[in-house]
Amino acid sequence: MKLTSARPAELEVSQNFESERPHHNCGVAGVCMHSGDFERTKYITAEMLLHLQHRGPDGAGVAVTGSETPDDNPVYSDLGSVKDVLTPSNLSGLGRGEYSIGHVRYRTKGSLGRVARLALQPFRNDSRSGHPFWIAHNGQFSGSLEGYPSDTSKFANDVAHRMVGRVSLTTAVVRELEVRHGSAYSLLIMDKNGVLAVRDPFGLHPLFYGYSEHLDSHLVASETPALTNLGVHDLESLPPGHILKLQQGQEPLIEPFVERPERPQICAMEIIYFVRADGKLEHKDIYVMRKDAGRYLGWLDRRLDADAVMPTPDSARAAAQGYAEVTGIPYEEAMIKTTSDRSFLQSTQAERERVANHKLQIIPSQVEGRRIVLVEDSIVRGTTLIDLVKRLKKFGAKEVHLRIAAPPLTDTCDYGIDIATRRELIAFQKKGDIEAIRRELYADSLRYIELEDLKKSMGPELGERACTKCFNSVRPSGDFIYKLPFKKSRSRQKAALPV
């Protein structure tokens, strides 16, 4: 793209900046309201989804049910952002109920048009006896889709088929999860009797719950900001291999559905990129972990002579700040990520999507004549970073040194993150040759954080057990014996939250 007189103060990166990032499939949120106006539950869910928008910008949906809600109550979902899809007028037709769950979705490769709409969640299904239930899922179930639009829709259908005779929803869910051992899921399942929250035995993706006093509701969501911004103060992380049961007017119950659940093997990319910077994982601040990763990068660069440390917005900011603190190189910003809200002016869907995409713009006066350390959270294909480095230099940067707060991505993900095929990953293409990658990116130097340093930045509890398959092809490990929770026995455990 050439600099034109219409934009004298900025240089726009021509490619869609977000296309270079790894993408997550979704985020989930749920409500169990104990008293008050049950008309509000759907709006509470939508409010939580606003705080999860970054996990799934391409589609959103909400479902509501309760003791007096009609069985044919619809789900409302559509392609688009939360603020555009879950408007008050769109949600008004959902009726009222004590329970609600919602979902935000990222559109993975190939899921366009009709397929994308069919894959929107929550999914509604019915048992053979006509028992309706709804499912929202973050992660990835193993196994063939067999013609279904998504892994979640097939899971919902298989659960429904198991609900025969006296087989309960909880029993059917656990039995289907056993069949899909090795899958990744933070799962919400709702029927007229309550909400179930389920986290896989590895604990690959986060799921939190807590009580909001001013809403008199228990809330559950993929990330902590969705809860804290609605008045939850004492929130908890659902342990791996556990099910949380929320029912109106009752204390929450939490029990394992596998023998001897393990500590979380959290996905490393959740910490590096996906979770909002103001969020937490296992009681540790995301911002602090990212800043510590930058410090480890900076420790090896204390002799580097440069004029400014700059992040690519937004998730690299903390790492860049940590790097600047250790090296003493000033932290500055020269890139602005903008989103156009005027996509309605475009005549085709392709044009609307193009205009609505995030774009990165450069402030030339911050770049000209300077030696820049550019900090990025990760590199997938490298195509956008190539474009960015070229343009920084075209606009007068004397040097561009790339520092990456993640190790080289060399493998795909089977657990819910839409990373490109291995042959598209630049680190795989170059067989891990850092010098070859540097030349491809047109950088003056290139350094990735070491995997061991990344783990140290997470702290011993998370770092020692984090899933790093996309960096070293090592899968999460664990043999689990499945069991049915919520049987009438002394093993029943109350969740440590007020009602």
Dist. CA 491–CA 473, nearest whole Å = 37
The two tokens of residue 208 are 């939190």
Residues 6+ apart with CB under 8 A from 277: 286, 287, 290, 314, 315, 317, 318
Which of 195, 219, 227 shows the shortest CA–CA distance to 63?
195
Long-range contacts of 166-174 (CB under 8 A, 24+ apart): 169/127, 169/131, 169/133, 169/193, 169/196, 170/196, 170/243, 170/245, 170/484, 170/485, 170/486, 171/484, 172/127, 173/198, 174/243, 174/257, 174/482, 174/483, 174/484, 174/485
Q: How far apart are CA 282 and CA 258, in angstroms?
A: 20
* Catalytic annotation, residues: 26
C-alpha 97 chain-centroid distance: 27
